[in-house]
Amino acid sequence: MVDRSKCISCGGCIAICPVQAISFVDGKAHIDPKKCVKCGSCMGFCPMGAIDINKQEPEPKKKSKK
């Protein structure tokens, strides 16, 4: 996930992601966990250390049990 308080919206991670999993949401980078293949490129690139791919976005709670 991206720490929105650290992201300076430089756009570098968006350019570097090989599967276009990152886009700006409300002006800050956002990783689509369904597209991300956890290559780590964005994490290595981010000048602010705002990205941690090992932390997932909190998922919305589902009502059904599976």
- First-to-final CA distance of the chain: 24
Size of the site for ligand SF4 (CB under 6 A): 28
Paired with 30 in beta bridges are 23
- Which of 41, 66 has the CB closer to ligand SF4? 41
The amino acid present at 7, given as its one-letter code, is: C
Strand partners, 31: 22
Q: Binding to ligand SF4 by residue 45, rule CB under 6 A?
A: yes
Site of interaction with ligand SF4 (CB under 6 A)? 2, 7-13, 16-17, 19, 21-22, 29, 31, 36-42, 45-46, 48, 50-51, 53
